[in-house]
Amino acid sequence: MKRLRVAVVGYGSGGQATALLLSRDGHRVEVFERVAQPGPVGAGFLLQPVGLRVLWELDLLDAVLAHGVRIGRLFGETAAGRAVMDMRYAELDARLFGLGLQRGALFQLLDAAWQSGRCLHAGNAIVWVDAEAGRLVDGEGRVHDGFDLIVVADGSASSLRAQIAPAVLDRPYPWGAQWCLVDQAQWPWAGELRQRYVAARRMAGMLPVGTRPDDPVPRMSFFWSLPAASLDADGGAVEPWRASLEAVWPEAAERLATTAVPQGLAPARYRDAMHRQWYRGRAVLLGDAAHAMSPQLGQGVNMALLDALALRDVLRSGEALPEALARYQADRRAHMGIYHFWSRWLTPLFQSDRRMGPALRDALFHPLSRLPGGRGQMLRVLTGTRRGWLGKVILPPAFLDRLAMDARSPLEACAET
């Protein structure tokens, strides 16, 4: 395997995993991050089995399991108490579970693991990529060149993706969310991701996400859906905001009683971006820069981690770079096309002003999910193990054996519910 000089633009989860994986293979990696003090963006998320598999490859699985919360069930209902979604990992495979994790925990663990050959240029915004020459130009006009490979992993709002290849689609979603972390305390649904809906106009979610290396207090990630145009417009509407949440979910409103509104809530906006071509010359797209989507399926971090692993694997093949990048693109697009499709079509059923679609969702989604064929398909998409429309991602037996050691906790919690 040829040792490469690699530039990674962006130090989010995908960029961190790429730097760690390629450094361990002996490549000389330099990371460029525009933020002077890099850190996580967002409160918490759900690591699916495919994402956990990548952390297992990185020898970080035990560490994330120590900090995260095993999730065995995803349950969504209307504010009136009608079940809309009830999916349990054990119905696909008794060894599987999701892991609620703070973004700060994953950031700290990946950051601490990347020490050998570490070269991080923080506070250095890259504004231009010369994909053919392997050259970068930063916001101060400085040139960084001599790279054999440039990995563009600067997120869903990437300012560089169009320099690599024109996007087939690149548009913001009209809806976003407010996020925060709250103490878990005696939350009654400790092994579940819970959501409440009012049509598609209001959605609240609570996900137990555990602890961080620098914070032993177990937390939950709170999610509140809003039109994107309202994210900066609710500053003076504290009492109406609390009343809206109270009407949807009194228990969640109680947990946020001491959270400053809106100061304690972080806004989140989403994009829908898709490329037919993920690479050009010596540059390649990775993570949300290549395939941004709404978080409705909860796959963003998982897919970025899988991108990093796939890139490492094709570079190990010894193929010339163009052939290796073509194989990376083909492999990842074959896996995740269905997630882009379902994300695009499901998001309006959960975040929009529409009436008919959410009404059909409330009436049909749960019954369809209980049918043997429908349940299996939904669980495959949830876990990230659906590949295209009919294929499956095969998880390594040794990894599944390791998960089996920890699978009982969320399953027992679900059984007690």
The pTM of this model reads 0.94
Tokens 């975040």 — which residue? 351
pLDDT at residue 390, as a whole number? 85
Q: Is the peptide bond before 188 cis (omega within 30 degrees of 0)?
A: no
Measured CA to CA in angstroms, residue 284 lies from 149, 318, 328 at distances of 8, 17, 9
CB 405 within 8 A of CB 95: no
pLDDT at residue 411, as a whole number? 44
Q: How far apart are CA 346 and CA 391, in angstroms?
A: 21
Residue 272, beta-bridge partner list: 171
Q: Token pair for residue 217? A: 């207090």
Residue 182: φ, ψ to 5°: -130, 160
Q: How far apart are CA 357 and CA 13, in angstroms?
A: 34
Region(s) of the chain under CATH 3.50.50.60: 1-36+123-170+272-348
Q: What is the CATH number of domain 40-107+174-269+354-417?
A: 3.30.9.30
Check whether domain 1-36+123-170+272-348 has CATH 3.50.50.60, yes or no: yes
Tokens 């693991």 — which residue? 113
pLDDT at residue 413, as a whole number? 43
- Residue by residue, pLDDT tens for the chain (417 residues) are 789 999 999 999 999 999 999 999 999 999 999 999 998 888 899 999 999 999 999 999 999 999 999 999 999 999 999 999 999 999 999 999 999 999 999 999 999 999 988 999 999 999 999 999 999 999 999 999 999 999 999 999 999 999 999 999 999 999 999 999 999 988 999 999 999 999 999 999 999 999 999 999 999 999 999 999 888 765 457 888 999 999 999 999 999 999 999 889 999 999 999 999 999 999 999 999 999 998 888 899 999 999 999 999 999 998 999 999 999 999 999 998 899 888 888 899 999 999 899 999 999 888 888 887 788 889 999 999 999 888 999 999 999 999 998 865 544 444 444
Which distant-in-sequence residues (6+ apart) come within 8 Å of 47 by Cβ?
A: 55, 64, 68, 98, 99, 100, 101, 106, 301, 302
Tokens 């407010």 — which residue? 178
Other beta carbons within 10 angstroms of residue 264's beta carbon come to: 14
Residue 221, beta-bridge partner list: 181, 207
Region(s) of the chain under CATH 3.30.9.30: 40-107+174-269+354-417
What 8-state DSSP symbol labels residue 187? -
